[in-house]
Amino acid sequence: MKKSITSIFIFIVLIAFSACKTKQSDVLTISPASLKDKIAGGWAGKMIGVTYGAPVEFRAQGKTFDDSIKWTPKDIRGSMWQDDIYVQLTFMMTMDKYGIDAPAAKFQEMFAKAGYMLWHANVQARKNYYDGIFPPASGSPEYNSHADDIDFQIEADYLGFMCPGMPNTASKMADKIGHIMNYGDGVYGGIFLSSLYTQAFFENNIPSIIENALKSIPAESDYAKIVADVITLHKHNHNNWKSAWAELQAKWGYDHFCEAGGTFNIDAKFNGAFIVMGLLYGDGEPMKTMEITTRCGQDADCNPSNAMAVLGVVIGFDKLPQNMKDGVTYMGDSLFINTDYSFNKAVAKTYNYATKLIAENGGKVGENEISVRRQLPVAPALEVSFPNVVMDKKIPIFEKGTWTFTGNWKTLQRAGSPGEKPWDQSKFAEKAGDAIEISFSGSGISIDGNWVKDGGKADVFLDGKLVCTVDTYYDYNKQEHENVTIWHVTRLADGQHKVKLVVKGEKKPESFGTKIYITKAVIYKTAAKKSASYKFSFEK
């Protein structure tokens, strides 16, 4: 009987201890000074990493970068005009003006009207704003052919910086902001990166940070699969990142929609894999982490910027190498272009937003200790931008026997380099009724051309039916874009289709003309992607 009572007592004590342990594990603690130091480390990492890789950006496509990389702390001044930083600072300015819960349209408006240049998914989201297309449509595959591009991935850091230990709070905000310019894997890139930061405040084991952050995105997404592949490759051989790079390139290197068919790859998941590669093989060393991430190639300034920012949160600003700290400190009060933010202001404002979000999500902010209510990552529903969409072929506008022209279409020539002949850039027409037509076999097509200051409007007909009117005017911040998607469609029934563009002879009041410029068509088919069935060499 006494033995039974003793056993019961021990059992009750164990339950109480277990409950106490569980309760404690639900709360994460950090000092105010440490929180601010880690936030500063994250922002500093962005500035350091982006300037380290800037000279190498896209110099290695489909191969590693094996030449020397020259970087000094003085180069950090170049971060003042990097889109990796100024775009998300505009989003913080939106929060300052309209509140942390401002609608997505306000974030789109402020970054659309900002004075800096943009590219890919971001510039399409800007043009969509001026064409009256707002989030989430502005980032959807229907209105943004760059939906899976890297854009949101490189500008979601601030969300993770202000959500220590709270990946779901970061993901909720990322879902709203990310759909301004991206969709599917493009949004998951931002969610994954922001989740990495939320984990890095309370964890210094890089593999654990990555594996926990991976729980914030759907496991069945391609983004999650490619990150899982990097983890597998690292576990198989953690001493040879180049061997892992070669395996990854062979499996995933060409599965992307934007710029399909070439070596250029600005896909979020592919570049995200290089971030993870640098973190895993970098062994927690700043220079090694940046070097490996940069040498992986492609968007080789954005990727080390993200990797170094994760490391910056783990290490904290005070423990960064002294020369890096000195370089950032020297630029501490300098403003990033077209923003009212400096490094010092970014750190202070992020800290203020972090303490506000901690309190709103069940935590406590004290003078000497901050308690964070831990959140276990929950992934959003699966989105797929371009399911089983594979590039079939490209048809230049000058390819004979393919295009049918009606009306007066002229050739736009560009001056060649010194000693070279001028080259034909596009065909253009400007009078109402001028038309161009192409027939193709497949399940999708992109009609590419120019967005320019004398661009006009055209009606688009698909298989004889009017589907929309496109406007090719673009002269925002004195930036024009050539050879971009002016209209696209996917998920058609596989088979024969016909597209016709008819010039309307109309324009926006600010346009200098009514011209429609066409450079090529890209034809897509429905097929399983290479990555779906590919096996690594050690799995075969």
Q: Are residues 473 and 446 in the same domain?
A: yes
Backbone angles phi, psi at 342, to 5 degrees: -115, 175
Q: Are residues 347 and 472 in the same domain?
A: no
Structural domain total, the chain: 2
Backbone angles phi, psi at 406, to 5 degrees: -125, 130
Q: Are residues 359 and 278 in the same domain?
A: yes
- Within-domain flag for 330: yes
The C-alpha atoms of residue 336 and residue 80 are separated, in whole angstroms, by: 4
Question: Taking the alpha carbons of 523, 527, 532, 536 in that order, is the dihedral positive or negative?
Answer: negative
The C-alpha atoms of residue 71 and residue 480 are separated, in whole angstroms, by: 31
The C-alpha atoms of residue 216 and residue 205 are separated, in whole angstroms, by: 18
The C-alpha atoms of residue 491 and residue 487 are separated, in whole angstroms, by: 14
Structure confidence at residue 25 (pLDDT) = 61
Query: Residue 266: left (phi > 0), alpha (psi -120 to 50), or beta?
Result: alpha
Of the candidates 125, 41, 51, 108, the residue with the CA atom closest to the CA atom of residue 82: 51
- Within-domain flag for 136: yes
CB 505 within 8 Å of CB 432: yes
- Domain boundary at 373, 399, 419, which? 373
What is the Cα Rg of the chain in Å?
A: 25
Neighbouring CB atoms inside 10 A of 415's CB total 9
Q: Are residues 86 and 165 in the same domain?
A: yes
Q: What is the pTM of this model?
A: 0.94
Q: Are residues 124 and 247 in the same domain?
A: yes
- Within-domain flag for 540: no
Give the domain CATH number at 455: 2.60.120.260
- Domain boundary at 319, 340, 373, which? 373
The type of residue at 298 is Q
CB 44 within 8 Å of CB 317: yes
Question: Taking the alpha carbons of 261, 226, 126, 86 in that order, is the dihedral positive or negative?
Answer: negative
CB 233 within 8 Å of CB 207: no
- Within-domain flag for 320: yes
Of the candidates 245, 77, 49, the residue with the CA atom closest to the CA atom of residue 157: 49
Q: Are residues 414 and 365 in the same domain?
A: no
Q: Are residues 345 and 430 in the same domain?
A: no
Give the domain CATH number at 54: 1.10.4080.10
The C-alpha atoms of residue 358 and residue 368 are separated, in whole angstroms, by: 15
Of the candidates 192, 205, 121, the residue with the CA atom closest to the CA atom of residue 160: 192
- Within-domain flag for 276: yes
User: In terms of C-beta density within 10 A (0-12 exposed, 13-18 middle, 19 or more buried), how is residue 85 classed?
Assistant: buried
The domain of 410 spans 389-531
- Domain boundary at 373, 403, 433, which? 373
- Within-domain flag for 429: yes
Q: Are residues 423 and 301 in the same domain?
A: no
Per residue of the chain (540 residues), what is the pLDDT tens digit?
A: 333 444 444 333 333 333 333 344 699 999 999 999 999 999 999 999 999 999 999 999 999 999 999 999 999 999 999 999 999 999 999 999 999 999 999 999 999 999 999 999 999 999 999 999 999 999 999 999 999 999 999 999 999 999 999 999 999 999 999 999 999 999 999 999 999 999 999 999 999 999 999 999 999 999 999 999 999 999 999 999 999 999 999 999 987 888 878 899 999 999 999 999 999 999 999 999 999 999 999 999 999 999 999 999 999 999 999 999 999 999 999 999 999 999 999 999 999 999 999 999 999 999 999 999 999 999 999 999 999 999 999 999 999 999 999 999 999 999 878 888 899 999 999 999 999 999 999 999 999 999 999 999 999 999 999 999 999 999 998 899 999 999 999 999 999 999 999 999 999 999 999 999 999 999 999 999 889 999 999 998
Distance separating the N- and C-terminal Cα atoms of the chain: 62
- Within-domain flag for 359: yes
Q: Are residues 331 and 217 in the same domain?
A: yes
The C-alpha atoms of residue 137 and residue 143 are separated, in whole angstroms, by: 7
- Within-domain flag for 13: no
Q: Are residues 327 and 407 in the same domain?
A: no
Q: Are residues 426 and 291 in the same domain?
A: no
The C-alpha atoms of residue 278 and residue 289 are separated, in whole angstroms, by: 5
Q: Are residues 368 and 402 in the same domain?
A: no
